Chains A and B, each alone.
Chain A
């Protein structure tokens, strides 16, 4: 296992289009997190799963955002009707219970 994997690494999309990102966590990790990072800021929490259950969502996660982790393994984050303000680095992390979270390389989204 080579760590948390995210795909794609970069995505450029036109405003109004939908985008979907994928995250493959470290295989034995039951927790999976999504964060967003903009320039000059630290990562901000979006949502997290324990196995397949989505246990918490940030108020940053508007109705246009949806995340799934259907079988408790990989996860997808979809953004509908993208806006320029959605441009950011989207980070996925995974952890086992009560251990540090390990991050993927991130997906950089640019909305033009």
Chain B
């Protein structure tokens, strides 16, 4: 039962353009969402998060949007840079007694120079 889904395994975007990565979840108890970035042979690096009481959170080039009614969130990166090429994981947290992150399967983002 995949509670966090990233339906696009890969995405290619031209340098300077906007990258949009999507994530859907099924568990309505999730109340905190995070995006992690992962380079090969390294652990995930925290990027940005959003609480369910908000619908948008911005940090520099990165913005996360949350649509609770649709159980959908997205990560926008603008402008995209070559160093953004990595695998991006969406993760969710929340629910009574649930202290663990539930991850999606990831989207490989490739920025084309």
For the complex, what is the distance from the CA of A40 to the CA of B104, rounded to whole Å? Answer: 10
A106 touches B42 (CB 8 A): yes
Taking CB atoms and an 8 Å cut-off, the chain A residues in 5-62 that contact chain B are: 6, 31, 33, 35, 40-45, 48, 50, 55-56
A48 touches B105 (CB 8 A): no
B43 touches A91 (CB 8 A): yes
B30 is an interface residue with CB less than 8 A from chain A = no
For A47, give the chain B residue with the smallest CB separation: B100
User: A2 to nearest B CB, angstroms?
Assistant: 13
A100 touches B46 (CB 8 A): yes
Question: Contacts A42-B89, A43-B89, A108-B41; is A102 near B46 (CB within 8 Å)?
Answer: yes
A contact patch SS: strand
A105 is an interface residue with CB less than 8 A from chain B = yes
A31 touches B99 (CB 8 A): yes
Interface residues of chain A, those whose CB is within 8 Å of chain B, are 4, 6, 31, 33, 35, 40-45, 48, 50, 55-56, 91, 93, 100-106, 108
14 sampled A-B residue pairs with Cβ under 8 A: A4-B43, A6-B43, A42-B91, A45-B101, A56-B100, A91-B43, A91-B44, A93-B43, A100-B34, A101-B46, A102-B46, A103-B44, A103-B45, A105-B43
